Structure 1
């Protein structure tokens, strides 16, 4: 039976208030607690919590006027901005499930997802990065026919067949504020807040369903453990279409009275400027974000003293990066965390008081209410220190993939364990260390090789900023390691010297047989390293 939340007044005293376990209730409660605090700074736009609530409810009224109802799936295809935040919150207040789309998607990818969820409408920023979003959605005859398209940008007149932002908002006048409030309060914790599609790095994207209640529960704990404070200014550089930007960024900020500073497109100099100009105190991002700051020739020209806390996470976080960030950037706390979309983005994190070595070498412990297990290939639990696949169980595990029971059953077993596909170890205190992705392991002459182990070692070379290792075909050994290296600023590394250096630190079968220097590693819009692109390049150069 769905969880029931009576429609009580979110502004009432806490003892009389229903739990704030839906996004609309959380928004109403935060606006009551922090009415005049800044909720969003987006260049010239400043929104207090009161103004954000009103803007979101204007969107809710306009969406209801358009015919959007509770449970409808609605696409949101746009970069980080105050408009994205307002749209997401407003659609939730109308009762809709938001389906965020990756801004780097092309037409076929977006159409596939929107068709699979039977989207009731699509909101987009047409023309972002020069791409014709509207044209891409209408490109295939008979697909998305009749689905309303709304351009949320202020770019003048919308294209034929597309509703402009101001014309969309004009519909709010036909729906009363009370109707919108009733719609917002009717949303239940078990209703889906989002369907977030995975990046599709290993195949067709899968739609992870995320309910309001359990995701809010998770990020209440996350923000509290991380030590976020009312008034902190949070540079949300992770895309809002991803859990790292949406949940760990936007939702966590709104729950705790922070100011969101959304970043449209990552540019190192722009990030430095925003930190200085807006007094940014909180950052979260993949390792590449912090590498970019550390390697920037402009870093010393900006005042970064406002930075207070930061977190990073990835399948594998280089220890050398954590050590450099903690010493070369002015953070009081720099922690690591671990999660995946299927567990709403977070499963473990370090805690206040954890030592530098623990933070650098692990992703911390499970959040309250979450269980971890490391198992062998047969599913048997392994003792502390033994590597195996990481399993996760708890209320933060998705109910399943959208309209895909077979893939759901293959990923979440009958006992509720989410099979992550990551290889890691647990120590005696429950701290998790991710050592690799199961799919990235390769075999050299019969020996199993973890590319992440080689990457961690190479990352300590004084001339290397970033590195990725893959296995490439070899006639004699089957596969051998190859390293792709981004040099540190001002360095001129030599491939033979690097190979000789790593040979003193790793067994011979782990030593790369080749080193290629690149200006950047291939990543998707969420900052995830795309080793498939490196493998594809190797395959194209190799004879069939």
Structure 2
């Protein structure tokens, strides 16, 4: 039995991303700051942004970039990212955004797979960018350095040419806008094909629930990740908000910039919530301007979220999605304080979902009261990708014949339509036949005042049984023992969910978007055997 959003469908304009975001901008809005560079305070207005977008589009066309070509963008969050990203789309090309933390081999793999004809980067990332380009057979002359470097064209070079933006026409439902890379539910990164319609749809679907008016938004989550690209960059620009950019997370800078620029909204991943709730430095700055902290990319524990609310005097909300859904499919609206914070809220407009037993593939009914059994969450809507680039098998394994995307996440749904993610299907630990969700144990561990961060994976014990193992980062000067951690968990969970091994580490490995890299922990475990 499928279920739809409790909110009415919204109109999705039949437009490309550029026309959707900027086609109706007023003269007064052209003077509004679109970006403020957090470290330097330099401002870019909407008028300047649009001029730069058109300049980049013209320069790309002058260099032979045609509609449908792929251009790579390898950059942290800086104002120029917005100009280049939208300049690529304005030219009718497809932007493939490259993780700023990637190695040369990672970059080469993405350039090769996407077929990128140009690469934009920044000087601090130039060594790995050039090495990756060379491995992919892309000449150094095809590497443009936004802030300039000897032997490479710069963004200033492109803009001062004054080449007019090309006139391009395309079907928004067919033309690929972006090509981010995602592991999906399993495996090595794959090119996620997202059309202009996908991106326009997802901004339209979410705007009425978490947008709708100008804000001053701290942009620390990377724009190269689909969460930052849609929920930060595009949604903010539609509402004529001001994005205060940070190229990387540093707590002191994060607090300084949030305070000095009086940010009203902060979009984060859960690791930042841990700092906001627990770090003493938070008390040294004025964050009274913050109205909303919105978390995504990984599960947020309700107790942690409420601790942030109490400390900052703001509201905390959570959302859920995947690159393959552009990315948002569920969120807690700003005006719904009654929705449990450990849920991901409601299905967004224009979407249909269902829960499916991962073994029998039978649909799990929505209950008349209470909460359903857990099942894999399947989603369908105008924001769902058409497929993976050049990978028909992975596409067929992920999208059903009738258009539902298999998320690989286990969830429940309440009679009121509130969805709660239990855990990733592939990450569930099976202990003596019982399912143990790592995220549940991680949330419990984070509630301990002496634990700064934690991750849980399944490991094989001496009897060949898969058991939960916790990797724990202690607070400064904490003196926990392994037994302390195991006893703390054992007192609060069912017997089969007990943590049965503990290892203290300095830092939990995470992606740039804040997701725990369990594969790195598994590799660490294998190396220790």
Same fold (TM over 0.5): yes
Is 1:372 aligned with 2:350? no
CA distance in 2, matches of 1:317, 1:329: 17
Is 1:221 aligned with 2:208? no
Match of 1:263 in 2: 246
Compute the displacement of 1:89 (Å): 1.2
In structure 2, do the counterparts of structure 1 residues 19 and 319 end up closer, same or farther at CA, with 3 Å as the change threshold? closer
Which of 221-230 and 298-307 deviates more? 221-230
Match of 1:41 in 2: 36
Give the unaligned 5+ runs of structure 2: 1-11
Compute the displacement of 1:82 (Å): 0.8
Secondary structure in 1 matching 2:179: strand
**1:417-437 deviations in whole A, cap 9, x for unaligned?**
101111111111111101111
Secondary structure in 2 matching 1:216: helix
2:450 to 463, 467, 473: 463
Cα RMSD for the two superposed structures: 2.2
Secondary structure in 2 matching 1:298: helix
Match of 2:343 in 1: 362
CA distance in 1, matches of 2:278, 2:355: 36
Match of 2:8 in 1: none
CA distance in 2, matches of 1:519, 1:509: 28
Compute the displacement of 1:202 (Å): 4.4
In structure 2, do the counterparts of structure 1 residues 27 and 118 end up closer, same or farther at CA, with 3 Å as the change threshold? same
Match of 1:13 in 2: none
In structure 2, do the counterparts of structure 1 residues 390 and 315 end up closer, same or farther at CA, with 3 Å as the change threshold? farther
Paired residues of 2:117 and 2:138 also in contact (CA < 8 A): no
TM-score by length of structure 2 reads 0.91
When the two structures are aligned, how many residues end up with a matched partner?
509
CA distance in 2, matches of 1:451, 1:325: 22
Compute the displacement of 1:164 (Å): 3.1
CA distance in 1, matches of 2:421, 2:235: 25
CA distance in 1, matches of 2:432, 2:464: 4
Is 1:96 aligned with 2:67? no
Compute the displacement of 1:187 (Å): 6.9
Paired residues of 1:320 and 1:459 also in contact (CA < 8 A): no
Paired residues of 1:39 and 1:52 also in contact (CA < 8 A): yes
Which of 241-250 and 456-465 deviates more? 456-465
Secondary structure in 2 matching 1:521: coil
In structure 2, do the counterparts of structure 1 residues 19 and 395 end up closer, same or farther at CA, with 3 Å as the change threshold? closer
Is 1:133 aligned with 2:134? no
Match of 1:211 in 2: 195
Matches within 5 A, 1:100-499: 100-128=97-125, 131-138=127-134, 140=135, 143-145=137-139, 148-154=142-148, 157-159=149-151, 162-170=152-160, 172-173=161-162, 175=163, 177=164, 180=165, 182-183=167-168, 188-198=172-182, 202-230=186-214, 232-331=215-314, 333-355=315-337, 358-376=339-357, 377-383=359-365, 384=367, 385-476=372-463, 478-488=465-475, 491-499=478-486
Match of 2:3 in 1: none
Paired residues of 1:316 and 1:435 also in contact (CA < 8 A): no
Paired residues of 1:39 and 1:254 also in contact (CA < 8 A): yes
In structure 2, do the counterparts of structure 1 residues 113 and 314 end up closer, same or farther at CA, with 3 Å as the change threshold? closer
Compute the displacement of 1:251 (Å): 0.3
Compute the displacement of 1:447 (Å): 2.8
TM-score by length of structure 1 reads 0.88
**1:411-460 deviations in whole A, cap 9, x for unaligned?**
00101110111111111111110111111112223333222232233333
In structure 2, do the counterparts of structure 1 residues 104 and 207 end up closer, same or farther at CA, with 3 Å as the change threshold? same
Secondary structure in 1 matching 2:341: helix
Match of 2:81 in 1: 84
Compute the displacement of 1:85 (Å): 0.9
Compute the displacement of 1:284 (Å): 1.0
Paired residues of 1:441 and 1:450 also in contact (CA < 8 A): yes
CA distance in 2, matches of 1:163, 1:352: 44
